Amino acid sequence: MAATRSLPSSYSNHGFSHAFNSPKPKPSFASLPLLPKSTNGLKEDDGRRIQVRSEIKSFENSQNWTVEADRFRFVQNSSPHSPSSVSIAASSSAMDSAMRATKKVCLFYYAETKALAERVAAQSDAIELRTITWRKFDDGFPNIFIPNAHGIRGQHVAFLASFSSPGVIFEQLSVIYALPKLFISSFTLVLPFFPTGTSERMEDEGDVATAFTLARALSNIPISRGGPTSLVTFDIHALQERFYFGDNILPCFDSGIPLLKNRLQELPDSHNISVAFPDDGAWKRFHKQLQHFPTIVCAKVREGDQRIVRIKEGDPSGRHVVIVDDLVQSGGTLIECQETCMISGAESANPYEKVLASHGATKISAYVTHGIFPNSSWERFEHDNEGHPENGLTYFWITDSCPFQQVKYRAPFEVLSLAGSIAATLQI
């Protein structure tokens, strides 16, 4: 055996000479002994890699093999007659790739989002919860501390925020602006509900588009070592709001609709479901994700001094109708759409009177990603469990995008958790 450097005598005890010169069948690389860890291979001179080259004559085709002493793996230097390559490190490389694919994330959270943060962390061992000390000075301004700030250097960091009221935004923005400056590898802001989304238009001179204001504030988050901040939000109210953000932030617009679709598949009457949209805006946002369901589209029309809801498209007769929208506050639009799905209007001698008649929907349910319910407006929704849709909703699904969860254990409400979706997005 010819070599660029001579091996220590102890290496002959491992059977290298016998293994390479024996006329027996081809050797199994898995059976070859590894170099003792204490030797660390062979010492290197002048910064060069030590290699042991051998020509194995007993193979059908003469091939050169290189033993790299620093990692001790066999690399086949294929001849033109044998283009294939073999490495006994293939399995370990695959394991290394799998480990690298799982991104370790330090997840901070606001006090209101603690329950959701715990559900997110429960989805993956790669997500570690980190706490922040939220205090206030005597004058009411924030007094905030990030424990073990040095410990997150070089880590992927995320913050789960809740802008549930204007009074809590400033203290969270203070943390959101501070975290990227702690020499972290990347920063992700998870804001499940973008709260000012309904204020995106200026219809009269003097109107202030607060959605644009908030988008500008988030677009100025400092850049971390890994680049711009990633913003994760669900079912933003107006599609054009994605263009409000600047180049220093990467918005990721996710949706809670897959949770609804999974839940609908579990229902005993899943084969008899139609989806209703309370207005054209809801149809534009969601119809592509729900296009395999029969569709009903409602619209508000003006008759005299009144605005009423009419069915613009579709037929709810004999169907379990699920009304879908992005958010609910007072619930007026959903209730109007519910009533429209139950009844049809017929003109009488007096054009301003309505003669209501049953329209034939067997059940009516509703879904919104964001259940806001100011002033306890959730109390307006009654439960129907006896097949009388005029009395209320069979189900009302919301997600945990908003911390307000007083409806959690009250029928017809069911909460679908975004935890799995958030955990998956943190791995991107």
Half-sphere exposure of 206 (CA within 13 A, CB side): 0
- Rounded to an integer, what is the distance from CA 104 to the centroid of its chain? 15
Mean pLDDT over each residue of the chain, to the nearest integer: 77
Q: What pLDDT was estimated at residue 161?
A: 98
DSSP 153-197: TTSEEEEE----SGGGHHHHHHHHHHGGGS--SEEEEE-S--TTT
Tell me the per-residue pLDDT of 300-340, one tens digit each, with 9 for 90 and over. Answer: 776 666 767 778 888 888 889 999 999 887 666 666 666 66
- Is pLDDT of 259 > 90? yes
Lowest mean pLDDT among 45-54, 277-286, 348-357: 348-357
Amino acid at 118: E
- Chain position carrying tokens 């129907």: 384
Provide the CATH topology of domain 257-417.
Rossmann fold (3.40.50)
Helices within 277-394 (DSSP H only): 280-286, 332-342
Q: What pLDDT was estimated at residue 172?
A: 98
What helix, strand, coil percent values describe the chain, rounded to 5?
30, 25, 45
Rounded Cα gap, residues 96 and 90, in angstroms: 10
Residue 298: beta bridge partners?
A: 311
Give the mean model confidence (pLDDT) for residues 151-158: 96
Which carries the bigger pLDDT value, residue 76 or residue 197? 197
DSSP state of 199: -
Residue 420: beta bridge partners?
A: none
- Per DSSP, the three-state class of 358 is strand
Which carries the bigger pLDDT value, residue 80 or residue 225? 225
Cβ pair 248, 221 in contact under 8 A: yes
Q: What pLDDT was estimated at residue 269?
A: 94
- Is pLDDT of 246 > 60? yes
Q: Enter the tokens of residue 130.
A: 């980190």
Cβ pair 260, 324 in contact under 8 A: yes
Q: What pLDDT was estimated at residue 355?
A: 23
Residue 363 Ramachandran class (φ > 0 left, ψ -120 to 50 alpha, else beta) = beta
Lowest mean pLDDT among 135-144, 331-340, 390-399, 414-423: 331-340
Q: How far apart are the first and last CA of the chain?
A: 50
Residue 145: beta bridge partners?
A: 133
DSSP state of 10: G
DSSP state of 235: S
Q: What pLDDT was estimated at residue 152?
A: 96
Rounded Cα gap, residues 384 and 365, in angstroms: 9
Lowest mean pLDDT among 21-35, 119-133, 329-343, 377-391: 21-35
Q: What pLDDT was estimated at residue 69?
A: 41
Ranked by mean pLDDT, the top range of 94-98, 279-283, 401-405 is: 279-283
- Rounded to an integer, what is the distance from CA 102 to the centroid of its chain? 15
Listed residue (376, 428, 379, 383) closest to 404, CA to CA: 376
Give the mean model confidence (pLDDT) for residues 331-360: 48
Cβ pair 246, 216 in contact under 8 A: yes
Is the omega angle on the peptide bond into residue 268 within 30 degrees of 0, that is, cis? no
Cβ pair 400, 116 in contact under 8 A: yes
Amino acid at 391: N
Domain coordinates in residue numbering, the chain = 9-99, 102-254, 257-417
Q: Strands 51-56 and 63-68, how do they pair? A: antiparallel
Cβ pair 195, 143 in contact under 8 A: no
- Is pLDDT of 54 > 70? no
The band of 244, judged by pLDDT with boundaries at 50, 70 and 90, is: confident
Residue 116 Ramachandran class (φ > 0 left, ψ -120 to 50 alpha, else beta) = alpha
Rounded Cα gap, residues 418 and 399, in angstroms: 7
- CATH, domain 102-254, list 1.10.357.10, 1.10.10.1150, 3.40.50.2020, 3.40.710.10: 3.40.50.2020
Give the mean model confidence (pLDDT) for residues 90-117: 78
- Chain position carrying tokens 């070859």: 32
Give the mean model confidence (pLDDT) for residues 74-88: 44
Percent of the chain with pLDDT over 90: 43
Tell me the per-residue pLDDT of 161-220, one tens digit each, with 9 for 90 and over. Answer: 999 889 999 999 999 999 999 999 999 999 999 987 565 566 678 888 888 889 999 999
Q: What pLDDT was estimated at residue 310?
A: 78
- Chain position carrying tokens 């294939």: 84
Lowest mean pLDDT among 91-95, 402-406, 415-419: 91-95
Q: Which residues of 347-371 are buried (b: 16+ CB within 10 A; e: fewer)?
A: eeeeeeeeeeeebebbbbbbbbbbb
Q: Enter the tokens of residue 177.
A: 């602006």
Cβ pair 187, 158 in contact under 8 A: yes
